[in-house]
């Protein structure tokens, strides 16, 4: 009897368990996405690239909030809100794989957006391919992410210019604008090929740019010669030796494929330490406020390829949209959006449009809808003004433009001005006086003479805030130095500078984080020390 009771209890427990599991499985089998559209944002929210990652996340949040404020996305006649889920790659491949795996298997997202860094995306997209989840890649520049053959890439849509696109636009600009200026000033023969020095990061991104340079020269039959091609390890900080080697190859212009921290050091060390007074060509990821602050005056007259700038907006139909995006972003987050943020913002709108056209959250149908998508450009200028993905490698095509960094006295930093293409340019390209071309001894001698010319000027700097006169020879500049032809000009500028500085002091500037936290930590350490002593 006792045994029967025991088995009865066991049987009851078993039945209840089975019922519970059944109920749970019924709950889970409910069509996901009926109540919400889950989008995973794959971005480096921590680690070395966390600034960019945070910007990508904030831009995506802004887009999702804007869409949700209008009721959400029309999915087969029902308006469904977007829910974003963070996928932190921690700026590493291993964590990228973990983040995408979690987004797909645990969070069960309907779609992925983001993917900063080609190397990280190359690793984590394997998981997305395996689970056949559509992925709008907005932050990886290597074309390989949609062209590799070892996985099924048909679910990947590349909404970011590739490393083939950057050099093509940049070298066409150099050929059309920079080369004629150099050749005219130094009386070079048209037959002489333009001498191009290349310094690139030893990564998929850097190698991609270098290959893109070679392809662009060949594709457009450009009269250019690569006189040096040197690479450096990612996160390198000492470029003096490699820049000295490039200088020795006597380039007319130097194309650098680097990330922001590296680019800042390359231009600064190249001009300040190595004395390579040339035109530096930079890839778009460096069109960032931190770059302008870091590079200071050494970046003056260098060239920046771009598609979304923090300080300038191309004229044309998207001008208002960009201004509104910036304003909305600033109101929401208190800062300005970056380029990667802009494409991620667009990525959310692209996803919404594709889901709306598909009328379902079925991944295969959303993929097909993305492949056939055709929608107006949003905040970045697209070729033909339309966002669509190419039928071969599912790449959207951006209309890239070139900026030149011009010194801005009022902010004490350089600011970009669009110099190409002609349809949207703000100003003409300037070949600076200190510029030194590559080979041709006669020309170099002329250039050296030009830079070593001395001139007596009035000046003031941040160290001595009074107008003084001094003889300046050759290239003489540093952050904070301002020079003038006359004493009056100098005094007027100094007055203005002091006024602005006074105003700056009155306005509470955003505080450098640190002081309070530092004191708190120091106090905690001291308390811990005292406690330990007492214990002894």
Partner 1 sequence: MEPGVLIQILVWGLYAGCIYILLAIGLNLIFGVMKVVNFAHGELLMLGAYATFWIYTLSGVNPYLIIALAMIILGIIGVFIERLCFRPIKGTGKLNEIFLSLGLIYLFQNLAALLWTTDSRSIHSPYSNVSVSVGSVRLPLDYIIIILFTIVFLIAFQLFMKRTTIGRAMRATSQNRDAAALMGINVERMDMLSFALGSALAAAAGSLWLISGQIVDPYMGSIPAIKAFAVVIIGGLGSIPGAIVAGLTLGIAENVVPLFMQSFAGLLGVSMSFTAWKDTIAFFILIIVLVIRPTGIFGEKGE
Q: List residues binding partner 1 (CB under 8 A).
A: 47-48, 50-51, 202, 229-233, 235-238, 240-242, 244-245, 248, 260-261, 264-265, 268-269, 272-275, 290, 294, 296, 463, 476-481, 512-514, 517-518, 521, 525, 528-529, 532
Question: Least distance in Å: CB of 482 to partner 1?
Answer: 14
Rounded to whole angstroms, the Cα distance separating 275 from 271 reads 5
Instruction: Return the number of the residue (7 or 529) whose C-beta is nearest partner 1.
Output: 529
CB-neighbour burial class of residue 115 (10 A; exposed 0-12, middle 13-18, buried 19+): buried
Per-residue DSSP letter, 233? -
Give the three-class secondary structure for 189: coil
Instruction: Return the number of the residue (242 or 370) whose C-beta is nearest partner 1.
Output: 242
Question: Least distance in Å: CB of 25 to partner 1?
Answer: 41
Rounded to whole angstroms, the Cα distance separating 120 from 118 reads 6
Instruction: Return the number of the residue (101 or 293) whose C-beta is nearest partner 1.
Output: 293
From the CA atom positions of the chain, what is the Rg in Å? 28
Per-residue DSSP letter, 209? H
Instruction: Return the number of the residue (48 or 316) whose C-beta is nearest partner 1.
Output: 48
Question: Least distance in Å: CB of 326 to partner 1?
Answer: 20
Instruction: Return the number of the residue (320 or 452) whose C-beta is nearest partner 1.
Output: 452
Per-residue DSSP letter, 174? I
Question: Least distance in Å: CB of 514 to partner 1?
Answer: 4
> For residue 39, which phi and psi values (nearest 5 degrees)?
-115, 130
DSSP alpha helix (H) spans, 187-338: 204-219, 240-248, 260-268, 289-295, 319-333
Count CB-CB contacts under 10 A for residue 225.
Answer: 15
Instruction: Return the number of the residue (349 or 472) whose C-beta is nearest partner 1.
Output: 472
Instruction: Return the number of the residue (59 or 388) whose C-beta is nearest partner 1.
Output: 59
Question: Least distance in Å: CB of 504 to partner 1?
Answer: 14
Question: Least distance in Å: CB of 156 to partner 1?
Answer: 28
Nearest to 342 by CA among 300, 374, 368, 381: 381
Number of helices (H) and strands (E), helices first, in the chain?
A: 17, 19
Instruction: Return the number of the residue (210 or 429) whose C-beta is nearest partner 1.
Output: 210
Question: Least distance in Å: CB of 304 to partner 1?
Answer: 18
Instruction: Return the number of the residue (276 or 313) whose C-beta is nearest partner 1.
Output: 276
C-alpha dist (Å) from residue 488 to 355, 365, 419, 458? 64, 70, 32, 9
What is the end-to-end Cα distance of the chain in Å, rounded? 65
Listing DSSP states for 107-136 in one string gives S--SEEEEEESHHHHHHHHHHHHHHT--EE
């Amino acid at each position: 009897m006792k045994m029967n009771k025991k088995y009865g209890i066991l049987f009851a427990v078993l039945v209840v368990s089975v019922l519970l599991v059944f109920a749970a499985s019924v709950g889970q089998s409910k069509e996901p996405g009926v109540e919400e559209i889950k989008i995973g944002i794959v971005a480096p929210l921590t680690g070395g690239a966390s600034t960019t990652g945070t910007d990508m996340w904030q831009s995506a949040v802004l887009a999702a909030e804007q869409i949700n404020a209008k009721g959400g996305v029309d999915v087969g006649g029902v308006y469904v809100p977007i829910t974003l889920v963070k996928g932190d790659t921690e700026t590493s491949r291993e964590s990228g794989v973990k983040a995408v795996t979690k987004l797909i298997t645990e969070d069960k997202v309907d779609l992925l957006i983001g993917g900063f860094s080609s190397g990280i995306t190359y690793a984590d997209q394997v998981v997305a391919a395996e689970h056949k989840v559509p992925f709008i890649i907005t932050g990886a520049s290597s074309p390989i992410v949609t062209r590799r053959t070892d996985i099924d890439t048909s679910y990947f849509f590349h909404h970011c210019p590739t490393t083939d696109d950057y050099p093509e636009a940049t070298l066409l600009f150099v050929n059309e604008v920079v080369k004629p200026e150099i050749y005219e000033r130094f009386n070079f023969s048209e037959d002489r090929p333009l001498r191009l020095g290349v310094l690139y990061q030893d990564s998929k991104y850097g190698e991609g740019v270098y290959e893109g340079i070679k392809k662009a020269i060949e594709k457009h039959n450009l009269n250019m010669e690569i006189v040096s091609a040197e690479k450096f390890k990612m996160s390198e900080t000492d470029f003096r030796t490699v820049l000295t080697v490039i200088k020795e190859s006597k380039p007319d212009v130097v194309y650098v494929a680097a990330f922001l921290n590296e680019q800042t050091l390359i231009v600064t060390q190249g001009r300040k330490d190595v004395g390579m007074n040339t035109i530096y060509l930079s890839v778009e990821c460096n069109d960032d406020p931190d770059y302008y602050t870091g590079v200071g005056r050494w970046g003056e007259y260098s060239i920046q390829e771009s598609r979304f700038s923090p300080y300038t907006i191309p004229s044309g139909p998207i001008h208002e949209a960009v201004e509104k995006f910036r304003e909305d972003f600033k109101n929401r987050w208190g800062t300005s959006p970056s380029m990667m943020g802009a494409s991620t913002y667009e990525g959310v709108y692209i996803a919404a449009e594709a889901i709306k056209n598909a009328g379902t959250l079925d991944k295969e149908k959303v993929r097909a809808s993305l492949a056939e998508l055709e929608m107006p450009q949003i905040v970045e200028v697209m070729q033909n003004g339309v966002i669509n993905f190419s039928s071969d490698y599912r790449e959207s095509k951006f209309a890239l433009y070139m900026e030149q960094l011009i010194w801005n006295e009022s902010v004490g930093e350089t600011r970009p001005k669009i110099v190409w293409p002609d349809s949207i340019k703000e100003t003409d390209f300037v070949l600076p006086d200190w510029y030194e071309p590559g080979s041709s001894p006669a020309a170099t001698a002329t250039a050296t003479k030009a830079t070593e010319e001395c001139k007596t000027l009035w000046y003031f700097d941040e160290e001595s805030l009074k107008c003084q006169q001094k003889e300046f020879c050759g290239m003489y500049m540093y952050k904070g130095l301002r020079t003038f032809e006359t004493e009056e000009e100098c005094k007027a500028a100094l007055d203005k500078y002091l006024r602005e500085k006074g105003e700056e002091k009155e306005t509470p500037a955003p505080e450098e984080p640190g002081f309070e936290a530092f004191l708190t930590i120091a106090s905690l350490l001291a308390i811990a020390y005292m406690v330990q002593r007492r214990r002894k």
